[in-house]
Amino acid sequence: MMLSEAEAGSLEFWAGERPDAVAVISGDESLTYGDWNDQANRVADSLAGMGLAAGERIGMRFRLGLPWFVIQRALQKLGVVQVAVNWKLTPDEAMYIVDDSDAKGLACDDPDASGWAEQQLGLLITVGQSPDAPGVRFEDLVANGSPVERFGPLRPNMVLYTSGTTGLPKGVPPLDLEAVTDFDRLFAYGASVGAVPPHPNNAVVLMSLPVHHGAGPAAATAACGKGGTAVLLDPYDAEEALRLIERHRINVWTAVPTMLLRIQALPADVVDRYDLSSITALNTGAAPVPQSLKEWIVERLGPDVLWEAYGASEAGMITYTSPEHQISKPGTSGIPFDGVELAIVDDQWNRLPTGATGEIAVNTPMVLKRYLGQDTLGEDTVKDGFYRTGDVGHLDEDGFLFITDRIKDMIVAGGVNIYPAEIEKAIVEHPDVEDASVIGIPQDDFGEQALAFVVVREGHEVTADAILEYLDGRLASYKKPRQIEFIDALPVSPMGKVLKTELRAPYWKDRERNV
């Protein structure tokens, strides 16, 4: 349904209330709310003239930049669904998503977009290309469109694709509001999720997460919702993040743990030279957060700043940890958002008691019914409204969730379950270690054994024996890695999740199983 007036907190709302306020900053360039709305209206008008209509889909393959803000808002005004496409994907991988989603085309900011002319794309929208380049140029959409006022919802209407680590990626469609039966629960859930982390009015928000994942657009939405300013950082650089925080007086930042670990790894005198006092909320998640990192952040920024959130593409946001529990509940992933119910279950969906470890199942207003273009999910995945996350954990007596690992990451050595995340957290506590990842590799006698990949902090040195000695008293003997390899950097996804499939591949090649 198209909107006939501005929704509170939307671009159109602030374009009327604060047209000269700066909405987005990227390097030396910026957009005010008024200019952003004008350009988005013009692009929407041009695209409507080309026949793009409400309910259709179009791929969005972008790095952080001003054109993404304009084009995605134009699509919101038209009611066109955005299909997130990772800019790191090969053309064939990207075309799989475009085809699978039945998208009408692709908008991208590739430095050289000429290769897309060889694909059967339909509509191709480019940025920064020459006038004779294939497709339709973003610059011409702005120049030729009329500034006819259109209104769109604040929150983006997106299809997100799963990582594809267990097969071809699958599309997670946006929530179908027509299928919602309990709007009170949905509104309570939305308000609860929207409050983490808290954004002050006119907040200045640092954006360093990619826009082909839910967290990046969510950060942009949160900034706009409060009439604030989004400051863009791409590519990521730890010291540049500190510079931007000081220069723009950043209030809120959502970052994956890897980004924060890189700041922690900077020499203390480098961190000390920047004023970080403007930060009121630092939010993290998407990967395990070492307790030592939490303690470092609390020491550096104070006890009221650090938030953590846990969620899944198929179920939305699930739990959060507020600053007051970062130290008092070490290792927790928090308590459920309003409208969320958690269960720890065994293989037969039997609920396990408090303290028992099992698979995390979750019931939220956002639980997926089916992937895009596929059949309804079976009871092996969704049952009675609960979605099996594939994560392993337990609930304590106060209802706090503790995530142990991913089921597929679990190592079975001699019939004993070993959880890599527990080992990783212990290794990262070592003062000379920047990051670590643990996998199971084949071992003839026990089936598997633990191998740890370790990234040493710049300017530091440490040996495998020293790490194993450090783990004495911190881990039971059977949990210790039997092998340690030092590498320059862990392979990670754009969201900072370690790509363990890449680490495993050489060791499980030509085997019947690969985990």
Q: How far is CA 267 from the centre of its chain?
A: 27
How far apart CA 445 and CA 180 sit, in angstroms, is 53
Q: What is the pLDDT of residues 7-41, one digit of tens each?
A: 999 999 999 999 999 999 999 999 999 999 999 99
Query: Would you say 108 and 123 are in contact if contact means Cβ atoms under 8 Å apart?
Result: no
Phi, psi of 310 (to 5 degrees): -130, 135
| DSSP codes joined into one string, 232-255 | E--S--HHHHHHHHHHHT--EEEE
Q: Is residue 345 classed as helix, strand or coil in its secondary structure? A: strand
Looking at domain 410-508, its CATH superfamily turns out to be ANL, C-terminal domain (3.30.300.30)
DSSP label of 167: S
How far apart CA 247 and CA 66 sit, in angstroms, is 19
> Would you identify the CATH topology of the domain 33-174?
Rossmann fold (3.40.50)
How far apart CA 20 and CA 44 sit, in angstroms, is 21
**Pairing of the two strands 433-443 and 358-363:** unpaired
Closest among 411, 422, 414 to 451, alpha carbons compared: 411
Contact residues for 212 (Cβ-Cβ < 8 A; gap 6+): 60, 61, 62, 84, 85, 86, 87, 494
Q: Is residue 300 classed as helix, strand or coil in its secondary structure? A: helix
pLDDT at 437: 93
pLDDT at 292: 86
Query: Would you say 41 and 73 are in contact if contact means Cβ atoms under 8 Å apart?
Result: no
Which residue stretches of the chain have pLDDT < 50? 164-166, 512-515
Q: How far is CA 464 from the centre of its chain?
A: 32
Contact residues for 38 (Cβ-Cβ < 8 A; gap 6+): 15, 147
- In angstroms, what is the C-alpha Rg of the chain? 23
- Which amino acid, 123? L
**Domains of the chain, residue spans:** 33-174, 410-508
Contact residues for 315 (Cβ-Cβ < 8 A; gap 6+): 362, 364, 366, 367, 368, 387, 389
pLDDT at 1: 58
C-alpha distances out from residue 85 to 126, 354, 373, 426, 490, Å: 14, 40, 17, 35, 23
- Which amino acid, 451? L
pLDDT at 514: 43
Place of tokens 């008008």: 45
How far apart CA 362 and CA 389 sit, in angstroms, is 7
- The average confidence (pLDDT) of the chain is 92
How far apart CA 376 and CA 35 sit, in angstroms, is 43
Contact residues for 409 (Cβ-Cβ < 8 A; gap 6+): 419, 420, 421, 439, 500, 515
Contact residues for 93 (Cβ-Cβ < 8 A; gap 6+): 86
> Can the peptide bond before residue 290 be classed as cis, meaning omega within 30 degrees of 0?
no
How far apart CA 401 and CA 342 sit, in angstroms, is 9
C-alpha distances out from residue 515 to 37, 119, 451, 501, 505, Å: 50, 36, 13, 9, 10
Q: What is the pLDDT of residues 389-421, one digit of tens each?
A: 988 899 999 999 998 877 878 787 766 778 788
